[in-house]
Structure 1
Amino acid sequence: MFLQRTAVAVARRAAVAPALRRGIATTVVRRNAVPDQPKIKTLKDIKTEEDLVGPGARPGTVPTDIEQATGLERLEILGKMEGVDVFDMRPLDASRLGTLDNPVLVRSAGEEQYAGCTGVPADSHNVIWLRMDRQRPVERCPECGSVYKMEYVGPQDDGHGHDHHHGWEEPKTFADYVKPEYW
């Protein structure tokens, strides 16, 4: 009697266990295994602006961020997927006072860049926003005297073919009247 019950219990477990394993294994589908899924370009594949347009979603599905993102947003997402901070969002070095000989460098890929100075040591005064551009890359905080310098890392040719912007002239500031040797 005891052997009969044991044999029935073993038979039940053997019949049910493979079915359960098989059912779970067939429900797992890898995203890359879908045959009509467009290939997502990597960061190193981006060469032109046309490469920054997403493939879109398949008909009848909701697109993910990587499928629908375009332009700079797509570039940022691709960079984050590969562990690259495309826009270099690290805070500036606030552990030292920037001097004219050794300024705090602010990287910029654009024509101008704003930097917020909170003083040395950090948070010793309210945020003062300093504006730097390619013609005037050095700026000094009026509160603490820390010097910041814009390091341009963008393309050398702006595509316009000229340096002036349709007659616009930057307004003069006090810095225009300071002798260069005092900078």
Structure 2
Amino acid sequence: MFMQRAALTAARRAAVPVARRTFATSLVRCEAPKDKDVPAPQYKTLSEIRSRDDLFGPGAPVGTVPTDLNQSTGIERLEILGKVEGVDIFDMRPLDASRKGTVAEPILVRSAGEEQFAGCTGFPADSHNVIWVGMTRDRPVDRCSECGNVYKMDYVGPEDDGHGHHDHHGYEEPKTFADYVKPEYH
């Protein structure tokens, strides 16, 4: 043990030439192209979008860093173009909580899909924990099991969804208490 320590100490004290590494830098300057005749990319507005092919960005000009507007595609591009024009594509506003939804006047929930879920916190707002209420195109009205708020899905999507059928391959949707309510109570 003593010999190992002595050997380490002697090795540290020995005059070993140390190769020093120099610090070198290179200066590279990148400038934008000198062509002033490069036209700015043209963006389609929401009214000009007709198909999925219209939702591809033009990309960034050579020598520049692309922005989200340059490189976004698909539904993200649709959202960004909507924000540029001041349109909230996904309608992220909270639902109307100023009143209680009834069968005669339900709280409307917009949907572009086959089904939509709404989180009910009761009336007045935040009177119970969030209970998720599910609505479909086949059954657009549903009621919160805690407070009785009635929600109705307002379908705003395309009439023909491209599937050609709604039977879901023989799958029967499960029954709920709403299926057993007498028609005269509606």
Band the TM-score falls in, shorter-chain normalisation: 0.7 to 0.9
Deviation at 1:36, TM superposition (A): 4.4
Find the partner of 1:134 among 137, 147, 168. Answer: 137
Find the partner of 2:47 among 44, 48, 60. Answer: 44
Alignment of 1:21-100 (within 5 A): 35-100=38-103
Q: Highest CA radius of gyration, 1 or 2?
A: 2
Would the aligned equivalents of 2:142 and 2:178 in 1 still touch at CA under 8 Å? no
- Structure 2 spans left out of the alignment, 5+ residues: 1-31
SS at match of 2:168: coil
Would the aligned equivalents of 2:108 and 2:151 in 1 still touch at CA under 8 Å? yes
Q: 2:27 aligns to what?
A: none
CA distance in structure 2 between the aligned counterparts of 1:137 and 1:169, rounded to whole angstroms: 16
Q: 2:108 aligns to what?
A: 105
- Structure 1 spans left out of the alignment, 5+ residues: 1-28
Residue by residue over 1:36-68, the C-alpha shift from the partner in whole angstroms, topping out at 9 and shown as x without a partner, is: 442111111111111111112234433211111
Deviation at 1:175, TM superposition (A): 2.6
2:131 counterpart letter in structure 1: I
Residue by residue over 1:58-99, the C-alpha shift from the partner in whole angstroms, topping out at 9 and shown as x without a partner, is: 344332111111111111100000111111111100010000
Give the structure with the higher percent helix: 1
Residue 125 (str. 1) matches residue 125 (str. 2): no
CA distance in structure 1 between the aligned counterparts of 2:111 and 2:147, rounded to whole angstroms: 23
Q: Percent identical across equivalent pairs?
A: 72
CA distance in structure 2 between the aligned counterparts of 1:177 and 1:34, rounded to whole angstroms: 71
Q: 1:11 aligns to what?
A: none
Find the partner of 1:150 among 142, 149, 153. Answer: 153
